[in-house]
Amino acid sequence: MKERCLVLIKPDTLEKRLTGAVVDRLERLGLDIVAAKAVSLTEELVRQHYAHLAGKPFLEGVIRYMMGDYNHISNHKIIAFVFQGKDCVAKIRTELGATNPDNAAPYTIRGSFGKFDKAADIVYNCVHASDNAQDAEREIALWFKPEEVLDA
């Protein structure tokens, strides 16, 4: 199977209506979209998704951000995608840029559209992408039923 990557369009990107701009940039990396849906996020799902952040001081802020508490988003909406293709994870993460938009190259997605609210310690970094191919498979199983993902 070709490498896959979970991509989540976060609430700041939804509020700014930049989903299309982000997906355009990712698709042009030569990758295939094999799943896509709008999800009404539950706190349980976001806590499972960010289980690796347990104990981090910023975890509760990340959860509030993902739940849409800091943006004008109804239904706790997130848009989830699965991209597939050669070196999918590395290509997407390079296009996203560094986790903190202040450290991201200006031409990356996070450098272009993100911001860091230092006072509140909220990293508005636009998009989630899986960290590696193994994490991607765990995350895809968390967010999608097998029949929702095409085998491209």
Q: Which residue among the candidates 49, 52, 76, 128 is catalytic per the annotation?
A: 128
Residue 58 binds to ligand ADP (criterion: CB under 6 A): yes
Residues numbered 106-125 forming contacts with ligand ADP, rule: CB under 6 A: 121, 123, 125
Q: Alpha carbon of 100 to those of 10, 19, 86, 124, 131: distances in Å?
A: 14, 19, 26, 8, 15
* Token couple for 49: 């998704």
CB of 142 to ligand ADP, least distance (A): 14
Residue 91 binds to ligand ADP (criterion: CB under 6 A): no
Q: Do the Cβ atoms of 2 and 85 come closer than 8 Å?
A: yes
Rounded CA-CA distance 8/18 in Å is 13
The b-or-e profile of 56-73 (16+ CB within 10 A means b, else e) is: eeeeebbbbbbbbebbeb
CB of 31 to ligand ADP, least distance (A): 18
Helix (H, G, I), strand (E, B), or coil: what is residue 45?
helix
User: Shortest CA distance to 113 belongs to which of 5, 21, 8?
Assistant: 21
- Judged by CB under 6 A, the residue of 27, 69, 117, 131 near ligand ADP is 131
Which conformational region is residue 17 in: left (phi greater than 0), alpha (psi within -120 to 50 degrees), or beta?
Answer: left
128 carries an active-site annotation: yes
Per-residue interface string for the shown chain with ligand ADP, residues 15-54, x marking contact by CB under 6 A: --------------------------------------x-
Q: Closer CB to ligand ADP, residue 23 or residue 104?
A: 104
Q: Closer CB to ligand ADP, residue 59 or residue 152?
A: 59
Residues in contact with ligand ADP by CB under 6 A are 53, 58, 62, 99, 121, 123, 125, 128, 131
Q: Which residues are catalytic?
A: 128
